[in-house]
Chain A
Amino acid sequence: MVATPTERRVWQRYSRRERWTRFVLLLLVVAVLSWAARDVDIFWPWVWDAPAQIYSLADRMWPPDPRRLGEIVEALVETVHIATLATFSTIFVALPIAYLAAQNTTPNRACLWFARFVLVASRSVNTIIWALLFVAIFGPGVLAGILAIMCRSIGFVGKLMGEAIEEIDRRPVEAMEAVGASRPKVILYAVVPQVVPAFFAVIILRWDINIRESTVLGLVGAGGIGVILQGAIDTFAWPTVATILCGIVILVLLGEVLTGWLRSRVL
């Protein structure tokens, strides 16, 4: 009986510590947020004015101007081409890298770390920044756009495929080794069939994302609908901008419908 109050006190202290931790965490979050709000370089009168400004911009956009529709549709098709070609060519680079980046198939540690470095570098640099780099190298145009989308997709596809390879059932691999198959044949028969579903899922998902991404490439000069959008914004042709924006929404929704259909067919 004597021990009971002590135990309870210990228990209370622990609970108090927990509450204390939560309080400090909350305080920290509030402090960081208020620092961010006070320190950020914002001219506050503009903030109060923002709704009116946004309304005025929206007002200038209405009604959408369909006169350049033909040109816009052409640019949208070009955007899809960029996304598709980039996704297609990504496959040929991402799969070998995924093979090197999976712990169970990589030939040695050096290859593993090299491949992981490539994947991280590719994933950490945003498509727009890749586009900036390739526009500087190859000049404005669709090639820069395709390469930019490719470079960003390699990391995405490579990482997910690498994980898929790491998750395969090891037993067929063992069986193929036991029949005396060489390394390439083991991969062909025991690894490839097991990762095919993951491959289609990842490629379809990335194609969907790439359509969204390729709508902005043109803003840095890398082709697609973004070029017309930038031009329309620069010339204050707001009704045309509205048409382009509607076009992008429709394109993205169509892409979503198509990928949903493909997914249900293939998987």
Chain B
Amino acid sequence: MVDDKARTWRKPPFIASPVVRLLLALGVLGYLGLALATLPFDWERISDGLPRAARIFGGGFPPSFERFELLLTGFKESFQIALLATLLGVALSIPFAVMAARNIAPRPVYLVGRAVIIVSRSFHPVIVAILFVKAVGFGPLAGILTLTLYSIGFVGKLLAEEIEEIDWGQVEAMRSVGAGFMATLLYAVFPQILPRQLGLSMYQLDSNLRASAVVGIVGAGGIGGTLMNAFGRYDYDFAFAILLVIIAVILVSEGISGWVRRRLW
């Protein structure tokens, strides 16, 4: 270690092998290049964009609240969709969560429960909304069904994980007194997951309200439809008014839901 030559020091690289390092760098650069090259950019249309943006934002300011009635109707419907979907979704998520909990469900039932939850989580609510609109027609019914499925996926997954982590001693105690499956669920499982379920419901109400603003874009009722119409008719000042109110409502609902959840836990 002790020699007279001036010693040098380099920071040891994060990836030790220089070959892997080079390949990784080339890979990232190559990917970026490939992705940019294969994506169909319509440059002419894009270059028109800035003046168009100016026109849109120019037309959007100041936001117009003239058609306040329409705005109010749209929001009322969004609230109704969110409320009903949360009620249905939270109620239905309980059986699916029980099915998808490894520790209490038999293996085949567990697989079915997991599959339902995985599939309903894979699809963005907007895709589900389109399908429901095609199946049951335009309007809030499609929205409610969509968000119910969305809630089952999200609440069901977290609830199933919660059930998998319960204190098993209480279940054994119920079984040892000779309780049946339903009685065990009622007395040993549900009391343990109830607080969590209430918190999740509040959270889900908040995210359903957010989602209900967008499912309307594909015709599933609520403020999203109003927004889509305003955009379609180049009614930018009304569209911006809707956007502002959506932001305000989401902030308020996030605040309330956070406050309630803090009180619950």
Contact = CB atoms under 8 A, between A and B. Distances in A.
A binds B: yes
Interface in A128-142: 128-129, 132-133, 136-139, 141-142
A142 B40 contact: yes
A2 B8 CA distance: 88
Interface in A192-231: 212-213, 215-216, 219-220, 223, 226, 229-230
A54 B251 CA distance: 35
A50 B145 contact: yes
Sorted nearest first, the 10 A-B pairs with minimum C-beta distance are A139-B45, A36-B80, A124-B247, A81-B35, A40-B80, A138-B49, A252-B122, A57-B135, A216-B126, A36-B83
21 contacts: A33-B84, A36-B80, A36-B83, A42-B141, A53-B135, A57-B131, A85-B36, A124-B246, A125-B243, A125-B246, A126-B213, A129-B214, A138-B52, A142-B41, A143-B42, A219-B217, A229-B127, A233-B130, A245-B123, A248-B122, A249-B123
Nearest to B141: A42
B227 interface: yes
B232 to A, nearest CB: 10
Nearest to A145: B39
B250 interface: yes
B32 interface: yes
Q: Is the interface of B mostly helix, strand, loop or mixed?
A: helix
Nearest to B121: A252
Given A41-B77, A126-B213, A216-B124, A57 B84 contact: no
B218 A219 contact: yes
B194 interface: no
A248 B213 contact: no
Interface string B77-98: 1011101100100000000000
A84 interface: yes
Contacts of B123: 215, 245, 248-249
Interface string A142-157: 1100000000000000
Contacts of B119: 249
A54 B137 CA distance: 11
B149 to A, nearest CB: 11
B175 interface: no
A41 B76 CA distance: 10
B48 interface: yes
Nearest to B52: A137
Interface in B17-69: 31-32, 35-36, 38-42, 45-46, 48-49, 52-53, 56
A125 B123 CA distance: 20
A113 B38 CA distance: 40
B46 A143 contact: yes
A85 B134 contact: no
A141 B140 contact: no
Interface residues of B, number: 59
B128 to A, nearest CB: 10
B264 interface: no
A85 B34 CA distance: 11
Nearest to B131: A57
A36 B205 CA distance: 14
Contacts of B76: 39
B221 interface: yes
Interface string B95-134: 0000000000000000000000011011110110011101
Nearest to A238: B134
A47 interface: yes
Contact of B141 (A47, A133, A248): A47
A137 B45 CA distance: 9
Interface in A38-74: 39-43, 46-47, 49-50, 53-54, 56-57
B124 A213 contact: yes
A212 B126 CA distance: 11
A121 B250 CA distance: 10
A32 B87 CA distance: 11
A14 interface: no
Contacts of A233: 130-131, 134
A138 B140 contact: no
B215 to A, nearest CB: 9
A136 B52 contact: yes
B80 A39 contact: yes
